[in-house]
Amino acid sequence: MQTSRKSAQPSKPEKSDQVQSLVRALTLVNRLAAADEGITLTEVAQQVGLSPSTAHRLLTTLEQERYVHFDAERRLWSVGVQAFVAGSAFLKTRSLVGTARPHMRALMEESEETVNLAVEDQAEAIYLSQVECRQMMRAFARPGGRVPLHCSGVGKALLSAMPDGDLAKILHRQGLSRVTVKTINTTPALRGDLAQARARGYAIDDEEHAVGMRCVAAVVFNEGAEPVAAVSLSGPMARIPDERIPLLGDLVRRRADAITVQLGGVLPNWRTQAAR
């Protein structure tokens, strides 16, 4: 009986060693991913708290599976092609609409207003999906429908997150045509409105695209902290008075952030500050 117990005991530390090696290997890959120009064995070992011999053993194993690459001439380690292949598999399986739909439904329930998802395409916003509210009077945007960027909630949200150069190109290309009497049709006024949208974390369409309708929208970001889509909720002014806008803005911003996180996106610093 004593012999049997002794022979069974080594299995636990052996399993623990395997897990520890896996964690260390993944830590090395993550560290290499952060080193754009590659990194020496000594440097990466120091950064992850391993001895050079242990780090080298793990890196050599990872190199055999092509998760890391060693440049013999420069003596530098970097991420390998297999890491890209694994990452690409995630990109293939993720779906913007599929990921966003549960959050859109939840946002509709929270706000009791219609929720839309849109992306920028050829300097316009194109709707990809909609979750209609249960109200008798509601906004309607058919998937595939297009709206100008400068006067729609989704469009202004996307514009507010664009680099200044991209924004200038779009405004020059499309102009600022007036759709309603409230449409912002001068560049200084629009830039001021977009700056406010960045500061609070959501954009507002105040009857700028359709008379009697208001829209509140926030941006969804990709892994490069770039605007990839916008989520909005819209309804008649009677249900979206001035005093309700901050609450709805907070709801839509939080849902847009949740979609960003689930897609593997990154919130830019200004967006994080707006959430505080």
Task: Compute the residue count for the chain.
Answer: 276
Taking residues 31-60, report their average pLDDT. 91
Contact 149, 155 (CB under 8 A): yes
Taking residues 233-262, report their average pLDDT. 94
pLDDT of residue 204: 95
Domain ranges of the chain: 2-90, 94-274
pLDDT of residue 8: 45
Distant-in-sequence, close-in-space partners of 95: CB < 8 Å, separation ≥ 6 = none
pLDDT of residue 270: 81
**Position 259 confidence tier, pLDDT thresholds 50, 70, 90:** very high
Task: Show the tokens assigned to 171.
Answer: 């405004």
Task: Show the tokens assigned to 189.
Answer: 């006024």
Taking residues 35-52, report their average pLDDT. 91
Average per-residue pLDDT for the chain: 86
Contact 151, 209 (CB under 8 A): yes
H or E segment to which residue 236 belongs: strand 227-236
Taking residues 94-119, report their average pLDDT. 91
CATH match for 94-274 among 3.30.1330.10, 3.30.70.890, 1.10.3720.10, 3.30.450.40: 3.30.450.40
Percent of the chain with pLDDT over 90: 58
Taking residues 51-61, report their average pLDDT. 94
Rounded Cα distance, 71 and 233, in Å: 52
pLDDT of residue 93: 53
CA dihedral sign of residues 116, 218, 134, 100: positive
pLDDT of residue 3: 39
Taking residues 71-81, report their average pLDDT. 91
CATH match for 2-90 among 1.10.10.10, 3.90.79.10, 3.40.1160.10, 2.120.10.70: 1.10.10.10
Same fold, 2-90 and 94-274: no
pLDDT of residue 276: 63
Rounded Cα distance, 235 and 133, in Å: 9
Half-sphere exposure of residue 155: CA atoms within 13 angstroms, side-chain side:
25
Instruction: Please determine, for residue 2, whether its predicted confidence score (pLDDT) is greater than 70.
Output: no
Q: Which of 5-19, 83-97, 175-189, 211-225 shows the lowest mean pLDDT across its residues? A: 5-19
Rounded Cα distance, 6 and 201, in Å: 62
Model confidence over 115-157: pLDDT tens digits? 999 999 888 898 988 998 887 665 666 777 889 999 999 999 9
Alpha helices in 112-186 (DSSP H): 153-160, 164-174
pLDDT of residue 140: 61
Q: What stretches of 153-226 adopt beta strand conformation (E)? A: 203-206, 213-221
**Shortest CA distance to 42 belongs to which of 32, 55, 59?**
55
- Using the structure block, give the residue that is written with the tokens 């979609």: 259
Instruction: Please determine, for residue 247, whether its predicted confidence score (pLDDT) is greater than 60.
Output: yes
pLDDT of residue 5: 42
Rounded Cα distance, 117 and 144, in Å: 11
**Top-confidence residue, 7 or 187:** 187
